[in-house]
């Protein structure tokens, strides 16, 4: 069983979110302007699980304004809504292996205390997690289809234990589901993969954000063995076991800048490199009967999927696939069908099905609103610039359409969360809305971003608010070289860690950027690192190693916290914050807003009482973008035009 496909435990602190400078020979037509409501009138969807008969697919959809579980008939395309929440987002996990019950997950108002629910075939919802304070994650099904695995921190809020739930088809669906403890986690070793015979459990332990270990638990003997003895920094990420349970397949960057796929022979201890690329392999898994191996590669901010015939080792040629990034590949148990998503920076994700026997490709969803002409959207372009110390920094450039010769437009840097996140070439309603209204956007993957090798990833350790901020300042200088950019009108925006970068820029480089847009950004590292959720215990040491210990490194953290330097802020900014955020507490935003207002700095503050770390409700996302555009039009563009 491949736990990594069904659940990937976050190991970052916060949420994650070619060019030509010569004017074209032919002047480009100005696009029609659209409202943010139109840009967000797409339907956000995600996930896929085949029904046992492989006639339907279960997925999550924001069609109702908040995520709910839907199923779609592969043959007819008919959709059916299975959950009807109007308050809390509900995400679909999976059908049951042998009937049409489903597993979904939901928290309350973004508090991240996620519970698992089983929806019976007649619509009755049963919460598997009886402790209201416990958090849980779905981990998948046993190979024999008789057990469901999930992890929960109910026993000890610091650690996630692994549980097995009996899912006998005949059991009463409204009764308590028989559950037993498969693995008791007392040392912060997190489950990652389970062998098909349920004997072996692969475990990982974070040492730092750049270094980890991998273990193998034999549930028959109760012994746990370290598999990853190594020197220096190296990451290990178990992916799946071979069908016969004799080998463990895992990702590692040991001896390499990038993650590659390797195998470990359980009997002999021999390790063998299976596949590598000049980029990180993000994940890999084997289809149920071992016919196909699926590999996803992080290729310069986009996803490259490869599917191999496992017996021959040759790439499978798939006929007539649509243009765009192929993601979310899921092969059915019969290995006859493959569901996948296609998206790009100009197009939101759509769900497709491929038939391996007939080579037929079928599109099941159309998530783009008909009100927007796709030709009015802007494609993100990968560019690179040299930073202050010679390091090459990748970024994604969005240039507004219809710029007249000699015209100069305002620009906005877009900084991702993380710290180790990555802005990718995905569709962003927020970015497209800003570009459509005349703002150039440069999404910066500053040092410390993932996807560009482990040296680049580690380059900002304990240098946050310093070297990564200088990368952002250099990106402003790059923008100023473009003939269509108004170098006096460049702002900075970001969410979570990116929000910290916004406030760091305004406090520590106060003359560089004209305005700031801060989504729930850290402003006081001392408080944030002391108040991290208890379920991050196994990652706390790694987090402190990268960011700093709030006790031992208190002076350094004080010096890089914008709150304590708010007297230096002179430029206008807007803050957007969810009241239920467990990662960046609301008080962080309250205090920076109050401190800046004491300076007489124009500050706008938008609070969402029913959101957490990241906004999931459509109406709230619309309001957030409307407020941002009004703010930018007033303080960056210099106008206050209506949306």
Report the alpha-carbon distance of residue 499 to residue 522 in Å, rounded. 7
Mean pLDDT value across the chain: 91
Q: Which residues contact 380 (CB under 8 A, 6 or more apart)?
A: 345, 396, 397, 398, 425, 431, 443
* DSSP classification of residue 565: G
Report the alpha-carbon distance of residue 484 to residue 486 in Å, rounded. 7
How confident is the model at residue 535, as a pLDDT? 80
Q: Which residues contact 7 (CB under 8 A, 6 or more apart)?
A: 137, 138, 139, 140, 151
Q: Within the chain, how many helices (H) and strands (E) appear?
A: 11, 35
Report the alpha-carbon distance of residue 248 to residue 227 in Å, rounded. 10
Number of C-beta neighbours around residue 466 at 10 A: 14
How confident is the model at residue 3, as a pLDDT? 53
The answer to whether residues 300 and 423 touch, using CB atoms and an 8 Å cutoff, is no
Q: Which residues contact 404 (CB under 8 A, 6 or more apart)?
A: 27
Q: Which residues contact 268 (CB under 8 A, 6 or more apart)?
A: none
Report the alpha-carbon distance of residue 140 to residue 151 in Å, rounded. 10
User: What are the 10-residue block averages of pLDDT along the chain, 643 residues in total?
Assistant: 42 32 54 93 94 98 95 97 96 96 95 94 91 95 96 94 83 65 94 96 92 96 96 95 97 97 98 97 97 97 94 91 91 98 94 96 94 94 96 97 95 92 92 97 96 94 91 95 96 95 97 96 92 80 84 92 96 96 91 95 96 90 96 86 39
N- to C-terminal Cα separation, the chain: 49
Report the alpha-carbon distance of residue 597 to residue 97 in Å, rounded. 57
Between CA 55 and CA 67, with CA 61 as vertex, the angle to 5 degrees is 135
Report the alpha-carbon distance of residue 528 to residue 334 in Å, rounded. 47
Length of the chain in residues, anyone?
Answer: 643
pTM of the predicted structure, to 2 decimals: 0.89
How confident is the model at residue 20, as a pLDDT? 32
Number of C-beta neighbours around residue 322 at 10 A: 12
Exposure string (b/e) for 53-70, b if CB count within 10 Å is 16 or more? eeebbbbbbbbeebbbbb
Exposure string (b/e) for 578-617, b if CB count within 10 Å is 16 or more? bbbbbbbbeebbebbbebbeeeebebbbbebebbbbbbbb
Lookup: tokens for 637: 């563009």
φ/ψ (deg, to 5) at 575:
-120, 135
Q: Bridge partners of 304?
A: 297
């Amino acid at each position: 069983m491949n736990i990594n496909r069904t659940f990937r435990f976050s190991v970052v602190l916060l949420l994650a979110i070619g060019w030509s400078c010569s004017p074209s020979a032919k002047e480009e037509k100005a696009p029609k302007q659209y409202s943010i409501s139109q840009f967000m009138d797409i339907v956000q969807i995600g996930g896929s699980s085949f029904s046992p008969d492989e006639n339907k697919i279960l997925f999550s959809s924001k069609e109702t304004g908040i995520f709910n579980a839907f199923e779609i008939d592969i043959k007819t395309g008919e959709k059916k809504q299975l959950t009807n929440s109007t308050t809390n987002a509900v995400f679909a996990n999976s059908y049951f292996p042998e009937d049409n019950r489903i597993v979904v997950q939901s928290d309350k108002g973004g508090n991240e205390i996620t519970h698992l629910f089983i929806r019976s075939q007649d619509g009755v919802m049963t919460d598997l997690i009886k402790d209201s304070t416990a958090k849980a994650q779905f981990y998948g099904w046993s190979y024999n289809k008789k057990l469901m695995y999930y992890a929960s921190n109910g026993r000890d809020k610091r650690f996630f234990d692994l549980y097995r739930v009996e899912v006998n088809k005949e059991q009463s669906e409204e009764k308590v589901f028989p559950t037993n403890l498969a693995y008791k986690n007392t040392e912060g070793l997190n489950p990652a993969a389970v062998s098909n015979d349920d004997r072996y459990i692969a475990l990982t332990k974070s040492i730092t954000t750049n270094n980890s270990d991998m273990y193998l638990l034999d549930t028959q003997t109760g012994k746990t063995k370290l598999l990853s003895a190594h020197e220096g920094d190296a990451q290990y990420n178990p992916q799946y076991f071979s069908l016969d349970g004799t080998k463990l397949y895992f990702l590692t960057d040991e001896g390499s800048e990038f993650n590659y796929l390797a195998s470990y022979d359980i009997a002999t201890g021999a390790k063998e490199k299976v596949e590598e690329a000049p980029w990180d392999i993000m994940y890999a898994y084997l289809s149920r009967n071992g016919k196909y191996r699926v590999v996803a590669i992080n290729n310069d901010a986009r996803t490259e999927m490869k599917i191999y015939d496992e017996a021959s080792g040759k790439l499978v040629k798939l006929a007539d696939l649509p243009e765009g990034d192929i993601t979310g590949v899921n092969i059915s148990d019969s290995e006859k069908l493959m569901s996948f998503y296609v998206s790009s920076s100009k197009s939101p994700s759509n769900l497709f099905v491929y038939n391996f026997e007939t080579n037929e490709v079928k599109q099941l969803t159309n998530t783009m609103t008909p009100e927007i002409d796709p030709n009015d959207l802007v494609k993100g372009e990968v560019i690179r610039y040299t930073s202050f110390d010679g390091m090459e920094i990748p970024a994604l450039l969005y240039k507004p359409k219809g710029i007249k010769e000699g015209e100069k437009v305002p620009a906005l840097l877009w900084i991702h969360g993380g710290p180790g996140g990555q802005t990718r070439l995905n569709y962003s309603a927020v970015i497209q809305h800003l570009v459509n209204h005349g703002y150039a956007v440069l999404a910066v993957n500053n040092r410390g971003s993932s996807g560009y090798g482990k040296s680049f990833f580690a380059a900002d350790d304990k240098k946050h608010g310093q070297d990564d901020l200088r990368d952002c300042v250099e990106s402003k200088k790059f923008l100023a070289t473009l003939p269509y950019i108004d170098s006096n009108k460049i702002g900075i925006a970001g969410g979570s860690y990116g929000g910290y970068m916004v406030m760091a820029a305004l406090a520590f480089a106060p003359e560089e950027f004209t305005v700031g847009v801060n989504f729930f950004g850290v402003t006081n590292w001392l408080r944030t690192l002391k108040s991290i959720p208890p379920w991050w215990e196994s990652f706390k040491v790694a987090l402190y190693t990268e960011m700093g210990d709030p006790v031992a490194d208190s002076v350094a953290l004080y010096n890089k916290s914008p709150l304590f330097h708010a007297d230096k802020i002179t430029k206008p900014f807007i803050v957007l914050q969810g009241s239920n955020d467990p990662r960046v507490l609301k008080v962080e935003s309250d205090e920076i807003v109050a401190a800046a207002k004491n300076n007489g700095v124009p500050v706008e503050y938008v609070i969402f009482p029913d959101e957490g770390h990241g906004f999931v409700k459509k109406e709230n996302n619309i309001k957030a973008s409307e407020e941002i555009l009004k703010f930018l039009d007033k303080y960056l563009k210099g106008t206050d035009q209506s949306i």
